[in-house]
Structure 1
Amino acid sequence: MITNAWFHRIKAAQRDLIRLVGGIERAAQVSSISKSHIGRMNNATDPELMPLHAVYALESECGVPVVTSAMAELNGRRLSDPESERVVEQCVVAAYSDMVRKAGDLISGGAVAISDMVVTPAEATKMDRDAAELEAGLGELRRALAGVKARGGQRLGLSVVGSGR
């Protein structure tokens, strides 16, 4: 069953994509679509959806398949990342702390939004943005952890003061 929830998911992905390429003006330059048209695509309540050529151009520019991933997700699928086959050199501590911060943003924002037992469209939009950032943060953490496993472990370079190490 298709509901209009798909529309809000795609609109959120469009907004994320526009932000990732540098905003409305940059998205207009990359896609060869007018700034006002891109602005409508960026507006959560406007029914304007991106044409496929714009999605392709913008995703190619930023290197993140935001809208394509959302479309796959809506169909019960997910994209595979050929980069995940390679060991990604990334600091586990940085990825973990960033993910925890993003989770905190979602949790605290969500708590405020539901405290009055009413979630407004603006609150839902903010929570969705926080959830998207958390989702990206989880992906970074998982890549960092995969790198640790591939290397057989990793000393994090931290020590307890007075531990003698």
Structure 2
Amino acid sequence: MSSTDPFLLRLKAAQRDLIEACGGIVRSGDKTGHSKSTVGRWMDPADPATMPLAAVRSLEMDCRQPFVTSVLAEACGRRLTDPDLERAAEVCVMQSHAEVMRQMAELAQGMAMAIADGRVTPAEATRVDRVASDIQGALSDLRSAFASVKAQGGTAASLRVVGDE
């Protein structure tokens, strides 16, 4: 795989997100039994080193988020589902929607800054990709909220005017 392979770049971004979600390089190294330099290579988008499956499993179990597994599933035309429907019931539709909109605005602002000079640098792409990664989580929460609404047969939108008591 070359360092310009879109799949590899997406995989490296997922590895970075996973390592950050597990507390960073040192803690991830401790959890997987790998050195700081090895874990650092997993995070470096310019380095072709990828995580072994045992490390992926260990870290995904630690943070309870399938960052790398989701990318692998997407590469095969599949996607993962969230087996925890209880979590979906706790997520508010309105709050989830507001968070998606906030992050989309952040994405738009990041893209505007990245393309302002007519060229997107690797650093700008990395910054915007991090926002896009956050959007995936927010969209997942929104979809979970809607799944909960469907399972309950509908729900009130809980809208109210600010200042009303």
Whole-Å Cα distance in 2 between the matches of residues 125 and 32 of structure 1? Answer: 27
Instruction: Report which stretch shifted further, 153-162 or 113-122.
Output: 153-162
Specify the code of the residue in structure 1 equivalent to 2:78.
Answer: R
CA shift, 1:73, in A, is 0.9
Flag the 1:86–1:109 CA change in 2: closer, same or farther, 3 A.
Answer: closer
Deviations 1:14-63 (A, max 9, x none): 00100111111111111111112111111121222111111111111111
CA shift, 1:86, in A, is 7.6
- After superposition, where does 1:52-71 map in structure 2 within 5 Å? 52-71=53-72
Flag the 1:25–1:159 CA change in 2: closer, same or farther, 3 A.
Answer: same
Specify the code of the residue in structure 2 equivalent to 1:120.
Answer: T
The SS at the match of 2:90 is coil
The SS at the match of 1:64 is coil
Specify the code of the residue in structure 1 equivalent to 2:103.
Answer: K
Flag the 1:162–1:104 CA change in 2: closer, same or farther, 3 A.
Answer: closer
Specify the code of the residue in structure 2 equivalent to 1:77.
Answer: R
1:18 and 2:19 correspond: yes
CA shift, 1:88, in A, is 2.4
- After superposition, where does 1:27-38 map in structure 2 within 5 Å? 27-38=28-39
Gaps of 5+ in 1: none
Preserved CA contact (<8 Å) 1:11 1:44? yes
Specify the code of the residue in structure 2 equivalent to 1:54.
Answer: A
Whole-Å Cα distance in 2 between the matches of residues 130 and 144 of structure 1? Answer: 21
Give the number of equivalent residue pairs.
163
Q: Please tell me the root mean square deviation across aligned C-alpha atoms, in Å.
A: 2.2
- After superposition, where does 1:150-161 map in structure 2 within 5 Å? 150-160=151-161
CA shift, 1:144, in A, is 0.9
CA shift, 1:158, in A, is 3.6
Which residue pairs with 2:132 in the alignment?
A: 131
The normalised TM-score by structure 1 is 0.88
Whole-Å Cα distance in 1 between the matches of residues 51 and 36 of structure 2? Answer: 13
1:113 and 2:114 correspond: yes
The SS at the match of 2:89 is coil
Structure 1 consecutive aligned stretches of length 4 or more whose deviation exceeds 6 Å: none
The SS at the match of 2:23 is coil
CA shift, 1:155, in A, is 3.0
1:72 and 2:66 correspond: no
The SS at the match of 2:13 is helix
Specify the code of the residue in structure 2 equivalent to 1:52.
Answer: L
Identical-pair percentage? 47
Whole-Å Cα distance in 2 between the matches of residues 100 and 87 of structure 1? Answer: 19
- After superposition, where does 1:73-88 map in structure 2 within 5 Å? 73-84=74-85, 88=89
Preserved CA contact (<8 Å) 2:94 2:157? yes
Gaps of 5+ in 2: none
